[in-house]
Amino acid sequence: MKKYVSVFIAFSVILSCDKELPQLDRTIFIPDAKTPELPAYTEWGYNSFGAIYERTYFLANKDIIPCKIAHSNDSLHFLMNGKYGSQYPYEEMSLTFIFPSVIVTDYRDLVALHDKTIDLSSNCVVTMTAKGSERTLDVETGTLHFKRVQLLSVDDIANRAILSGTFEIKFRTSTMFSENFSDGRFDFGITNNEFTYYPNEMQ
């Protein structure tokens, strides 16, 4: 069953002062009460995400589109793109999760992910791009949980899908020691600007 949420005037009160982007497309950072370096878990389509990466933070940044999604060859490609590091200037980093999926041809079809948990150590490929280099992670354990997926409507017309959830990854490095993304959370508003369907074209 599809889920809907309406936009209220109160939503605009907490938005960024950035005038260059439409309100619903901006990245909004609401600090977590326990770990203020991370965004709080929300389900409002704030276009934000965050996780602890070893002893630093992997976070959404207002200058980078934080999420893009593509469907091809019976798989969904779910990209989180942001920055990491403890000092400015920060390094750009992205994680891409590739996993089997029902056919998704439009952002509205993403509701099929509602309450779906992906086992990242089985039947899933996770790649990490940092410092201009991409590598496929040797995942030991990990989950990507789409806790809630809902359609957001403006004036009773579907406007975007809001994907909210959590993630964690433990992966082996070339030295055979493990690294971790922990306490991850995300909250994205996805339109067809961020979603692409490739009918068995993208490898």
In tens digits, the chain (203 residues) has pLDDT values of 454 554 433 343 333 345 567 888 999 999 999 999 999 999 999 999 999 999 999 999 999 999 999 999 999 999 999 999 876 678 999 999 999 999 999 999 999 999 999 999 998 999 999 988 999 999 999 999 999 999 999 888 889 999 999 999 999 998 889 999 999 999 999 999 999 999 875 44
| Domain range enclosing 129 | 4-198
Domain assignment of residue 131, yes or no = yes
How far is C-alpha 132 from the chain's CA centre?
A: 20
Phi, psi of 80 (to 5 degrees): -115, 125
Question: Which SS3 state, helix, strand or coil, does residue 111 take?
Answer: helix
Domain assignment of residue 203, yes or no = no
Domain assignment of residue 188, yes or no = yes
Domain tally, the chain: 1
Largest CA distance in the chain: 54
Whole-model pTM: value is: 0.87
Domain assignment of residue 60, yes or no = yes
Domain assignment of residue 141, yes or no = yes
- Rounded CA separation 162/185 (Å): 13
